Each structure stands twice: as structure tokens, then as C-alpha cells.
Amino acid sequence: MATKKRWGWVWLTLVVVLALLVSGCRPALVRDRLVLPLGSDPKTWNTYLVNDAYSAQAIGLMFASLVGNDGKGNLVPELAERWDYSDNGLTLTFTLRENLRWSDGQPLTATDVLFTFRDVLFNPKIPSSMGSILQVNGQFPTVTQLDDRRIRFTLPETFAPFLRFVGGATILPKHVLAQTLQPNAEGKPQFLETWGINTPVDQLVGSGPYTLTEYSPNQRLVYRRNPNYWKAPLPNIPRFVYQIVPNLDTELLKFRSGELDVYDVPARNFSLVKRLEAVGNYTVYNTGVVSSKSFVMFNLNRGRGSDGKPFVDPIKAQWLAQREFRQAIAYALDRQNMINSYYAGLGQPQDSPIAEISPYYLSRAEGLPFYDYNPAKAKALLQQAGFRYNTEGQLEDGEGNRVRLTLATSTGGAGPALMPQIISDLGAIGIQIDPQILEFSTLIDKLDGTRQWELAMLGFGAGVEPHASYHLWASDGPVHMFNLGPAPGQPPIPGRIVSDWEKRVDALFRQAAGTIDEGERKRLYGEFQKVVQTELPVIHLVTRLALTAIRNRVEGVQPTVLSPLWNLDELRLVE
């Protein structure tokens, strides 16, 4: 006992000494710059070759688009001062602000906008996700330059999300990049190799609030205020810095020591960070639930592979095909306990395929079906569907087959942490779950390659515009993973059946995209949410609260769940 006490005092002394050292050596934040963490080095400076979030963050400060978003996702003018639809909704004309300039001082005109869309995004030799999303029924719109300030898009049919998608595309400088359309030795456009990560930063020309002046790999990115930024007055903060901090524990230490101005607070660290709020001279903001989605997904694909074997064991496929079976599993999951155990109580259950921040979100009060924890109801539904319990409390189907399923998830994210509770919850209603924790690439190969899986737990991002997730919900969509169809150009999959409710979802998305009446769009997307929550091809789980700590020296912050610093150009630093 004496030894334990002695070591306890030793540890306590070490903690106190370390705390004094940290506070005594706390570096003063430089008064002319805002400092944020970045989890990894960027991989490219080319906005249309980005496939990771860190590159997107690093590039985002340097460029602008025709239309921006406020903190709530509402569209606001950016490079374009206005936009006008024709009466039939098939032409959209943007008018640029007067006297726009690139960061190198050259004029920014409709010629640059034409180049961005006609020569880059609509160029079949330059594949990009943005180019794909701008297609309307498989066709690119026609883009025409009317004069130096006006650009017109003509659509083959009405497409309501087009304004948000086309308006949000980053505009590129033609005078810098025009020559990159020429082929390289392999016959591919040089654009695909342009603005790689080794490009000298002084060669990067943009129109955003900041320009990059220094990039030190594994250390920092330093930006200075763009003197030619379109908005007046210019940003108040002269410099912006990203510190490369790949480790979350290190990020917390850097924030506590005063090296960082902003910290995205994980639920596990909330109590500590909140308790030190006054001492650290910062404020922790709770802006609501994040918009990303996590869910358990059922493999409803009744098809067969090229070898003639079914993707899913036919006996198990019969279980998964029953709506009552899927609803029973939803009732069996204790999502509040997931929130308490994984997010320290700082979250809420998800009920809808559309993010709560979206104006098209349907609430429970508005009629959205939901499945609060009710294992008794789960058992009753299963028995009504023809399942039964044996003497050991195990669930069997009508033929006496034990109900046993494999649940796959990836090594990253919340999946492995939530897995034990899901196993326990479903075990309580007699269903045996065998966990399968895979590398992300292996999981994706199962979902959209072999299609040989039963249940999967994963997540997707979600935003304001529901059509951004069209590829997930459309029956012919490339990520319609719960009943994935053939790849483009491939023959139909033998045995695959598209259900009536899937066809209804297809129709609802087409109708919602085909009208610019916002009331009608809300009604259509409301029906979509009801269909999905009734049929349950996926069971939405839980989401965390967006908690951000920001130094009090940063004035003017209006954090929202979409972005804590969405009004960056209006912020000020004070002492």
C-alpha cells in the first residue's frame, strides 16, 4: 500500500510539473495570423484532381466560385453578382461582378468561366466528379459566353439542383492553364499533371480570399491576404496558417498550449476542453449534429455472379427481403446507448436519409417514420413475419434455419466501436451476428465488386441538396450498394430485381430535379424520406454533435454545423 501511495505522489508531481512547463512555455499566437490544424499534407493543388478532404481544405482558401454558401447553406453571390433563369427553367445566365481580377492582377472574365466549364469540366478527356454531377440526363449543358461579364448555360431539360452545382464549381484562370489542354507524351491532357504538389506556390493563381506563400511538408501552409479578392473590404486577418497535425492527441496538446486557434472537439475530449474554457481563453461552440450519415445496410441484391452463384445465400436473401425483418432489426438497436457509450452522450439518433440542415429534411413531427428502441416490438414483428424462437431463445425461420448473419465494417471510423453493442442488441432478439472488420478497400470491393456480403456498416457525407446523393438512391446509381446493378456497359445481372419502392424513389428524384418549385421539391423529397424509412434498405444509426473550440481572440465568429469559420473574410483578431 505504501508503495502504491508513493508512486501515486510521483505521478501527481510529474503531472503538476508538466502542466507548469506547458503553461510556462506557451507560445504566443502571432497577432496577424489565424492558425488551424490540418490532418495531413495536401496531395495536389489542382482542385479538379482532388480526392481527399485535406487537399480540398488547403485549396479552398485560394479559389472562388460563381455562387457561395452562407453558414446555413443558402446560396449567396460570389464572383457572380446575379443569376437569372428563363421562364421555362432551361437557361441560366450568370452576370459577373465588375472589375474582377485574379491574384496575379490579370482580369477575371466570362472567358475564364467558359474555359472552366467547356474546356475542363465538360471535357471527356478530363474526368472529374464535378463534371459528372453537372450532367443532365447524361448530357452536358451547352455553355455560351455572351460578353465579358455574362455566361449562359442551356440545359436539355429542367434540372433544379443545377444552380447549386454549377454555381459552386471552382473557376480556373485561362491565361495560366489554357496550354495544359495540350496532350502529353501519352496523348492525355497536361491538365491531369498540372499544379501537382511540387508546383512552386508562386505559380498558383486563384481568386479566393488568400494566396499560398509557403508550403513546408509535414509542417505548415502559410497564406497571405489576396489583394485582388473580389469582396470589399478585404479579409481583416492578414495571414492564415495550417499546421500539419496528423495525430489527434497532438492536436489537443497544441491547442491547449496555445499554438492553435481552432480545435474540432471529439466527444471523448469534450469534458476536459469545456472545463478549461475560461483558463484557455476560448469558447466551445455546439452548432448541432453533423450532416454525415452512418448506417447499417442490407444486401437486397437477389442477383447471381458470372459463376452462376447468388451474391447472397438464398435462405438469408429471403430474410433480408422482408420489410418486417428489417424493421425488427431497427427496433432492436439501442441507438441512445450508442450515443452514450461512443459519443459520451453528445449526439442524437438519425432517422432520415436527408441531413437535418437541409431545407428538405422531414422531421418526426412532419410524419417521418422512426424506430426508437423497442425489443419487444422487434420480436413481435419477427413472429408476425413467420419467424419463431426455439427453446434456447434463438431465432429461426419457418423452415427451422437459425438466423445468423455477417456484419462487415471497416477498420476506420465508428464501426468497430459500435460492433459489440450491435451484436449484443441483435443477440437479445435471437439473431446471431458474426463481425467482419476489414480494411476499407476490402470492404468497398465486397460492396461494389463481388457483391458478396449480408450486412454492412458504413457512412456517407450529406449536405443541403438531396440530389447530391442521387447516385446512392437511384436504382441504376453507381453506389446503389444495397442492390447494385451492372457497371456501365455491362449486361444486366441475372436474377437482380428492382423493387417497386426503388422505382418509386427513382421517380421521386426525377420529379424533384425536374421542378424549380421549392414547395413541390420539399413535398417530393418528403415522400422519398417516408419511403426509405418505411422500407429500410438502410438503418440510420447515430451522429455526433459538431463541437468546436475557438480562441476568444477571434472576433466575429458565427459557427454553424456546415463550417465554424464560414465567414472567414469577416473575422478579426484582437488581443
**pLDDT > 90? residue 310:** yes
Report pLDDT for 67.
97
97-106, 113-122, 240-249, 321-330: range with lowest mean pLDDT: 240-249
pLDDT in tens, 465-487: 999 888 899 999 888 999 999 98
Q: What are the structural domain ranges in the chain? A: 29-39+208-287+553-575, 67-180, 293-545
Residue 291: pLDDT band with limits 50, 70, 90: confident
Report pLDDT for 50.
87
* Stretch 102-113: mean pLDDT: 99
**pLDDT > 90? residue 52:** no
Measure the CA–CA gap between 201 and 199, rounded to whole angstroms.
6
Domain 29-39+208-287+553-575 in this protein, CATH class: alpha beta
**pLDDT > 90? residue 68:** yes
Contact 96, 149 (CB under 8 A): yes
- Give me the CATH topology for the region 293-545: Dipeptide-binding Protein; domain 3 (3.10.105)
Report pLDDT for 71.
86
Q: Mind giving me the DSSP string for 467-533?
A: GGGHHHHSTT-TT-GGG--PPTTPPPPTT----HHHHHHHHHHHHHHT---HHHHHHHHHHHHHHHH
Contact 163, 83 (CB under 8 A): yes
Express as a percent the part of the chain with pLDDT over 70.
Answer: 95
Express as a percent the part of the chain with pLDDT over 90.
Answer: 76
Residue 316: closest CA among 330, 299, 331: 299
Report pLDDT for 132.
77
pLDDT in tens, 526-558: 999 999 999 999 999 998 899 999 999 999 999
Report pLDDT for 1.
40
Alpha-carbon separation of residue 171 from 75, 96, 110 (angstroms)? 17, 12, 10
Measure the CA–CA gap between 354 and 541, rounded to whole angstroms.
13
pLDDT in tens, 496-534: 999 999 999 999 999 999 888 889 999 999 999 999 999
Report pLDDT for 461.
74
| Locus of grid cell 419511403 | 531
Residue 51: pLDDT band with limits 50, 70, 90: confident
Contact 452, 286 (CB under 8 A): no
What is the architecture of the domain spanning 67-180?
Alpha-Beta Complex (3.90)
What one-character DSSP code corresponds to residue 566? Answer: T
What is the length of the chain? 575
Give burial (CB, 10 Å; 0-12/13-18/19+) of 55. Answer: buried
Report pLDDT for 477.
85
| Locus of grid cell 454549377 | 166
Report pLDDT for 217.
95
pLDDT in tens, 407-422: 999 886 788 989 999 9
Report pLDDT for 11.
36
**pLDDT > 90? residue 255:** yes
- Mean pLDDT rounded to a whole number for the chain: 91
Measure the CA–CA gap between 416 and 419, rounded to whole angstroms.
5
Measure the CA–CA gap between 507 and 524, rounded to whole angstroms.
10
pLDDT in tens, 435-454: 999 988 889 889 988 999 99
pTM of structure:
0.77
Indicate if 67-180 has the same CATH topology as 29-39+208-287+553-575: no
Measure the CA–CA gap between 83 and 520, rounded to whole angstroms.
22
Report pLDDT for 65.
98
**What share of residues in the chain are helix, strand, coil (percent, to 5)?**
35, 20, 45
Cis peptide before 233 (omega within 30 of 0): yes
Which residue would you say has higher pLDDT here, 149 or 87? 149
* Stretch 422-440: mean pLDDT: 96
**pLDDT > 70? residue 240:** yes
Helix (H, G, I), strand (E, B), or coil: what is residue 404? Answer: strand
Give the number of other Cβ atoms within 10 Å of residue 31's Cβ.
Answer: 11
Give burial (CB, 10 Å; 0-12/13-18/19+) of 479. Answer: middle
Give how far the C-alpha of residue 404 lies from the chain's centroid of Cα atoms, to the nearest Å: 32
Which residue would you say has higher pLDDT here, 443 or 320? 320
